[in-house]
Structure 1
């Protein structure tokens, strides 16, 4: 399995029906991967799949509610049934609610954590066990600048979930690394996605750009290319890291 060529490699991307997930799916597919486009929105997943490969030979859509472990298992099974194996998982599915921290209800907090943090945990568990048994695999978790600097423009619950993903990435990297499985995170800053434009008014977005050293928000296509590199067999020594992509807005 470790000797698979890119043309024979299989990736599953959660939350791939739009935004960063769509960009990641496009990059992987363009890099020669067969891609399962997993999303709770079946219509969005099918739209992306059709754009990648209308024949369904190298891209398929899968409904996935990341809050449910059984659905993760079914998603893995569906990919294996279709293509024989899986080499990489990208845990990208997430929700945001832009609300002041003192106004967040316990139920809303739990709902955001369930998708963002629990969903990443379940993906790492289900696919991590599969990869471990085969002695090879790549897991890439989507964290966020908000989880590093406490930014609350996208909600304190979102920031807390993304900070948790950074820690989960380290835990799973230690656990799975000896089995040939790497687990890394990417922490994007503000990106040119529907989520950012939905969350920030044009005035707030302009003010934000003025604080970023490169003067612009990020291109989702770059995140896709970084995922493509981390999913590669050549990335065997990258493990447990959080890769910052924020234009210099936050420096560690």
Structure 2
């Protein structure tokens, strides 16, 4: 199957921050976008802003840590748009807590959202895409998952490292069936999440410690996602594209 002129993209955690930037970029690029978010009202508001008719943008309330809700999301998106071509797994939960103070309950919660949510979404949508013979999956990882940074929580870092491994596993499994699976690994972004974790008074110091001298731009991450999600990226699979401003070189 070849890519249609107008593709349908599902973006989890798509109502704000990095997810919102990705949604806006894909929509501007001609995609119909299904904005999936725990905050259903925010997803609806963004969809209304992008297209009040609902023809090219629609919000969906979903808790990605619940497989049944992800399965329901797939059913609803297919009912509304008829098909799916792109999945962006962006939904994530951050809990900035010292490693030795992380409780079992909090570990399970963070892993359920970040890793299990991504894994189950790759299964659910990947099976559909493989049957169709075409698809693009992009998982949002993190610098923390590569270098073991614990500023955002050791459970967060661990979940993102697991996503990087799962990306390779799904890439191998689906490559022969026309589906590519890749990851983008951002460093500190100029985003609400980073502002909240670091604190407004510490942002300048954080930027000075980044070799390029600035926080990342979510719009640039969105460009990377758009490229990996494009028909032209057919030969790229199992890759992790870094965007950390030189903090981690490999």
Would you say same fold, with TM above 0.5? Answer: yes
1:13 maps to which residue? 11
The alpha carbon displacement at 1:114 in A equals 0.4
Paired with 2:238 and 2:84, the residues of 1 have a C-alpha distance of: 20
Moved more, 51-60 or 29-38: 51-60
Residue-by-residue CA offset, 1:125-154 (whole Å, 9 max, x unaligned): 000100111111000000000000111111
What residue is the counterpart of 1:146 in the other structure? 144
**2:61 alignment counterpart:** 63
Partner in structure 2 of residue 2 of structure 1: 2
Is the aligned partner of 1:78 residue 2:56?
A: no
Q: Deviations over 1:219-239 (max 9, x none)?
A: 101111111111111111010
Aligned ranges 1:172-251 → 2 under 5 Å: 172-251=170-249
- CA separation in 2, counterparts of 1:192 and 1:30? 21
Q: Secondary structure at the match of 2:34?
A: strand
- Asked if 1:48 is matched to 2:46, the reply is yes
Work out whether residues 142 and 186 of structure 2, in 8 Å CA contact, stay in contact via their aligned partners in 1. Answer: yes
Q: Deviations over 1:95-123 (max 9, x none)?
A: 10111001111110110000000000001
Distance 1:215 1:166, change over 3 A: same
Tell me how far 1:78 sits from its aligned partner.
Answer: 1.3
In the comparison of the two structures, how many residue pairs are matched?
250
Counterpart in the other structure of 2:95: 97
For the pair 1:169 / 2:167, whether they are aligned, the reply is yes
Partner of 1:158: 156
1:90 is displaced (CA, Å) by 0.3
Q: d(CA) in 2 for partners of 1:181 and 1:136?
A: 5
Distance in 1 (CA, whole Å) between partners of 2:131 and 2:80 is: 19
Distance 1:86 1:163 in 2: 27
Of 117, 122, 125, the match for 2:123: 125
Tell me, in whole angstroms, the C-alpha distance in 1 between the residues paired with 2:148 and 2:39: 29
The CA deviation at 1:207 is: 2.1
SS at match of 2:183: strand
Q: Secondary structure at the match of 2:216?
A: coil
Please report the TM-score for the alignment, with normalisation by the length of structure 1.
0.97
Equivalent position SS for 2:118: helix
RMSD: 0.9
In the alignment, the residues of structure 2 paired with residue 190 and residue 175 of structure 1 have an alpha-carbon distance, to the nearest angstrom, of 31
TM-score, with structure 2 as normaliser: 0.98
The structure-2 alpha-carbon separation of the partners of 1:3 and 1:95, relative to structure 1 and needing over 3 Å to count, comes to closer
Q: 2:158 & 2:91 partners in 1: Cα distance?
A: 15
Where in structure 2 are there 5+ consecutive unaligned residues? Answer: none
